[in-house]
Amino acid sequence: MAKRTRPLAAETGRRVDAAFARLNNARDRSSDLMPVLDMAIGMTGADMGTLQRFDESTDCLELIASRGFSQQSLSFFVIVRRDTNTSCAAAFARRMRVFVEDISTSYLFVGTRELAMLSAGGVAAVQSTPLISSNSRLWGGLSTHFRATQKESAFDLAPLDRLAVQIADRLVKSERSAPHRTMLEDRIGGD
């Protein structure tokens, strides 16, 4: 379990800048977003993570980058609607972070297919942070997943909040110049 009490380090800022410099000319955004996802996983001391983009036309989150999940889990969670029993759907609907200390006892998951899938994938706890730009545009969501239960009070999530705004701002800006490609499009062969 990680505890973050310091502000976002200059080195982290440089890594974010480098990742987004690659994104400006990227054809495969999923691969180019992996360093950003890895930073969030590292900041929270998590074991796995996902990055999702909000698709206004379908009013859903689409998985665009992940670390540590099986193909079966990715297929199950590739599209998340607002009414899906997940922390990312709750964060998406509420436009605020959702921290689930123990998925086995959370009202979001008890008795759901989502609980069974997450448990099978080794997830015991999760936090989901919406990616909202500084001009209030919802770009998507960032979730980090833990193999052991967690205590939200043990975390200083302010650095993650700053990273989330920085990610959203950069992605909103980069989308103006280049279309995105989702994991869903990769699976079905879209361009």
Supply the DSSP string of 73-133, one letter for each residue.
Answer: HHHHHSEEETTSSSHHHHHHHHTS-EEES-TTT-TTTTTSHHHHHHHHTT--EEEEEEEE-
First to last CA, the chain: 40
Is the predicted pLDDT of residue 20 greater than 80, yes or no? no
Is the predicted pLDDT of residue 51 greater than 80, yes or no? yes
Three-state DSSP class for residue 70: coil
pTM equals 0.83
Per-chain mean pLDDT for the chain: 85
pLDDT digit string (tens) for 99-146? 999 999 999 999 999 999 999 999 999 999 999 999 999 999 999 999
Separation of alpha carbons 138 and 92, rounded Å: 8
Tokens representing residue 181 in the block: 């490609």
Classify domain 10-188 at the CATH superfamily level. GAF domain (3.30.450.40)
- Band (pLDDT 50/70/90 cuts) for residue 2 is very low
Give me the half-sphere count of Cα atoms (radius 13 Å) on the Cβ side of residue 84: 21
Separation of alpha carbons 58 and 41, rounded Å: 28
What integer is the mean pLDDT of 86-94?
95
> How much is the pLDDT for 4?
40
Is the predicted pLDDT of residue 45 greater than 50, yes or no? yes
> How much is the pLDDT for 28?
57
